[in-house]
Structure 1
Amino acid sequence: MAHENDTIYYICLVILFTVTFASTEEATALLKWKATFQNKNNSLLASWTLSTDACRGWYGVICFNGRTNRLKITDAGVIGTLHDFPFSFLLFLEYVDLSMNQLSGDLTELESLHLYSNHLSGPIPSELANLKNLFDLELCDNRLGGSIPITLGDLTQLKILYLYSNQLSGPIPSELLSGSIPASFGNLRNLHSLHLGDNKLSGSIPITIGDLTELKSVQFYLNQLSGPIPSELGNLKKLTYLDLSDNQLSGPIPVSFGNLRNMQSLYLGTNKLSSSIPKEVAYMDNLVVLSISYNGFSGHLPERLCKGGKLENFTVASNKLTGPIPSSLSKCSSFKWVRFNNNSFIGNLSEAFGIHPELLFIDLSDNDFHGELSNNWGKCKDLIDLQVARNNIGGRLPQINQIFYVMK
């Protein structure tokens, strides 16, 4: 019995020694990285010393079974590079957040990787594809350049990918968005968010985006994307946010968008889109924002827009739209910010709009409205800006308090 107890004691002692050694080795590696910082006297990292326990007293370090498991030093004022970051020593590291520091240089490896809002430059390393368990990659708001590496398509566990606000250029590689498993971006079936806005991406939107049916948010704004909006985007029934604005997209809004019943914010403004607005857009009855200004849309607005009673921001300025305002919009009680300006809408202004209790701003200028301004506008208690310039409006000015309106 005594011999058995001695054996258990010996095993526990070995385990304790192994964990202690591993923790000391990891601490030493992190201190060597800290020694490369330009600001070595960083106050938040003053706790990083060999005389303290890295797993108990070090800022931003969380351990599991005596091994470094999480490292979070976000917004810690670190000025340095990732060249000497001890990835190879931190074998049990599962989570790193180094965001909002002044890190520079190229990247190497990891699993959940947040490096947004830094000064990272150079290309996105293709070696990231070696991180087979990576599910969250956030590289936005840096100075990364070049094209998006094809190898990102190998990250089959990826759920979140943020690359916006960089200097990325070239087309989105077709290899990322089509082909067989595992080389295809279209096979990233767990992806929830895809943010590639504010880069220099060109080419068309691949139809295999429609295969990513877990997507809830897609942002491709401020790029140089061209061609039609793929009808396959109508397969993304969980989508709540879609921003394709400020590109060179052409053609109509796909009728398949009527399937996007969870959509809350749809931004298609500043493109080359044309044709009439399909009636299926009105099927998106959870819309809060519908922004399609600065395109070439023509014809009448669809009936039943705002039938869900949630539409707050509605902008169709600078198109070629005609006809009267549909009754569903003229009575939309949820309106806050509305732009109908620079089209060819017609109708009696005193009859075309009801009472909008939440309305803050409305621009009706540069159309063919006629009639008089109704006193009903005075019942919009929060309205601060009513623009009706360059129409065919006559009659007396109504009693409207606390409103700035333009009729010139």
Structure 2
Amino acid sequence: MEALLKWKASLHQNNNSQLLLPSWRKLANGSSNNNPCKWEGITCNDAAGVVTIINLGSMDLQGTLHDFSFSSFPNLIHLDLRNNSFFGSIPAQIVNLSQLTYLDLYNNNLNGSIPAALGVLNNLTFLGLGNNQIIGSIPMEIGNLTKLQVLMNMLSGSIPPELGRLDSLVQLDLSTNYLTGSIPREIGNLRYLGRLYLSENSLRGSLPASSGNMRSLSVLILSSNSLSGSLPTSFGNLTNLFGIFLVNNQLSGQLPQEISNLTKLQYLQLGNNSFTGLRLDNNHLTGNISEVFGVYPNLTYIDLSSNQLSGELSVYWVKCPQLENLKISGNKISGRIPPELLGKSSTQLQGIDLSSNFLVGPIPRELGKHSSLLILKLNDNLLSGAVPEEVGLVSQLQHLDLSMNNLRGSVPKQLGKCKNLLYLNLSKNRFNDSIPSEIGKLVSLQILLDLSDNLFTGEIPQ
């Protein structure tokens, strides 16, 4: 009791209108209030009557830990002082709390460095030091805390390989720090790790192949670093992942095909990197595609088909000048096809598949600027209006599918200029008038010609 009262005497409260820990006081002999086990935030072992838990989180307290008598609480297992205004350093005397399993000092004004002596508290399962002013590197002695399950800090320096010894860790949060160097390969030893947050640091180098050993991982956030290289194929082993956030790095290359093994994946953010190939078809990805899709100036291939993506087509794709193939079929994409998507800056496109969505409005006339386009699939949407005459300028077109829309008017005779067409499907629309004779001149049509379920009149052309 005396140790707690002495510490209280050193504390202040930011809100002076409230009494500071009013139940912490010594009354006349015999008063039940003299038993600290009945004080606010204090829990004792019922049998021995010794303090085991101190929970003063969010109590608006101000002061230091230097007047706290750590040696007076050898049986303390839980110390929670989060969301207060404690300042100063963490005293080395904290090692006297040898039974401590939970230490939460999150969101205070503590400074200095993490004392290496914390590594002696080998019963710790939770260590929260984030959102303070703690500086310096992570002491390698933290690697001795093999029972640690959650680690949150605010530090600089490199990630010590010794963290790989924390094989009970289920959450590691080192985000928004000043960490440098590479991610150590020993991180792959964290087989029970479910959440890894390393965003907003200055980490460099490639992702270690050993990261594929963290098979319990469900959330991976590495955004806003300087990571480079390609994603390791071992990522395909992380089959419990439902969120990957890698935006604002320097990653490159094609996404490994093994990513398709991540059938639980729902959130994927890869923007502002240098990927050249993005294939994530046949997954369960959700979200607004117009908001989450970033800029990939080196990307040549996008396949997001057969997911559950919604929203409208992104104008960001205009900023992918190397893009050759765009496949987003079988989603819930709505809105109009942006003319910018078919503008001058994307003339590298050879294949566009936007089929089986909910696209509306007309087919943009800018389509005619795509002289290199080979495949265009817009079938099974809600497109309306007439087919633009500019389609005749797409002279290399081999596959054109506009079926199952609400297209009207006459089929443009300029379509006859597409001499390389092998496949033409205009079925299940509202086309009228006669079938243009120019269609009969498409001698390359060898795979399919389907004009059924329309309103054509007149004779069949020769």
TM range (shorter): 0.7 to 0.9
Contact 2:105–2:130, Cα closer than 8 Å, also in 1? yes
Cα offset, 1:44, TM superposition: 5.7
Aligned residues between the structures: 341
The corresponding residue for 1:83 is 66
Alpha carbons of structure 1 residues 262 and 85: separation in structure 2 relative to 1, 3 Å: same
Is 1:60 paired with 2:30? no
Contact 1:338–1:363, Cα closer than 8 Å, also in 2? no
The corresponding residue for 1:234 is 212
CA radius of gyration, larger in? 2
CA distance in structure 1 between the partners assigned to 2:255 and 2:339 by the alignment: 20
CA distance in structure 1 between the partners assigned to 2:205 and 2:339 by the alignment: 30
The corresponding residue for 2:110 is 120
Q: 1:257 aligns with which of 230, 235, 238?
A: 235
Equivalent position SS for 2:53: strand
Is 1:99 paired with 2:82? yes
The corresponding residue for 1:5 is none
Q: CA-to-partner distance for each residue in 1:115-138, whole Å, 9 max, x for gaps?
A: 001101111111111212111100
Paired residues for 1:277-356 under 5 Å: 277-299=255-277, 301-302=278-279, 305=280, 307-312=282-287, 315-319=292-296, 320-323=298-301, 325-326=302-303, 329-335=304-310, 341=317, 342-344=319-321, 345-346=323-324, 353-354=329-330, 356=332
Paired residues for 1:2-401 under 5 Å: 27-39=1-13, 42-43=18-19, 45-51=21-27, 52-55=33-36, 57-65=38-46, 66-108=49-91, 109=94, 110=97, 111=100, 112-163=102-153, 166=154, 168-173=155-160, 177=161, 184-299=162-277, 301-302=278-279, 305=280, 307-312=282-287, 315-319=292-296, 320-323=298-301, 325-326=302-303, 329-335=304-310, 341=317, 342-344=319-321, 345-346=323-324, 353-354=329-330, 356=332, 367=346, 376-377=358-359, 392=366
What TM-score do the two structures reach when normalised by structure 2? 0.66
Cα offset, 1:191, TM superposition: 1.0
Alignment gaps of 5+ in structure 1 = 1-26, 178-183, 380-388, 400-408
Contact 1:355–1:377, Cα closer than 8 Å, also in 2? no
Cα offset, 1:67, TM superposition: 1.3
Contact 2:143–2:163, Cα closer than 8 Å, also in 1? yes
Cα offset, 1:85, TM superposition: 1.1
Alpha carbons of structure 1 residues 288 and 145: separation in structure 2 relative to 1, 3 Å: same
Cα offset, 1:54, TM superposition: 3.7
The corresponding residue for 1:7 is none
Contact 1:312–1:334, Cα closer than 8 Å, also in 2? yes
Equivalent position SS for 2:2: helix
What TM-score do the two structures reach when normalised by structure 1? 0.74
Structure with more relative contact order (C-alpha pairs < 8 Å, separation 6 or more): 1
CA distance in structure 1 between the partners assigned to 2:293 and 2:83 by the alignment: 37
CA distance in structure 1 between the partners assigned to 2:300 and 2:158 by the alignment: 36
Q: CA-to-partner distance for each residue in 1:41-60, whole Å, 9 max, x for gaps?
A: 65361111112144453111
Q: CA-to-partner distance for each residue in 1:272-330, whole Å, 9 max, x for gaps?
A: 1111111111211111111111111113x22xx2523243366452221124x43xx24
What is the percent sequence identity of the aligned residues? 35
Contact 2:90–2:112, Cα closer than 8 Å, also in 1? no
Contact 2:169–2:192, Cα closer than 8 Å, also in 1? yes
The corresponding residue for 2:456 is none
CA distance in structure 1 between the partners assigned to 2:339 and 2:207 by the alignment: 28
Alpha carbons of structure 1 residues 238 and 358: separation in structure 2 relative to 1, 3 Å: farther
Alpha carbons of structure 1 residues 193 and 46: separation in structure 2 relative to 1, 3 Å: same
CA distance in structure 1 between the partners assigned to 2:269 and 2:339 by the alignment: 14
CA distance in structure 2 between the partners assigned to 1:57 and 1:358 by the alignment: 61
Equivalent position SS for 1:266: strand
Contact 1:313–1:338, Cα closer than 8 Å, also in 2? no
AA in 2 matched with 1:157:
K
Q: CA-to-partner distance for each residue in 1:77-127, whole Å, 9 max, x for gaps?
A: 101111111211112211011100000111132421000011011111111
CA RMSD of aligned residues (A): 3.4
Cα offset, 1:364, TM superposition: 8.3
AA in 2 matched with 1:119:
N
Cα offset, 1:203, TM superposition: 0.9
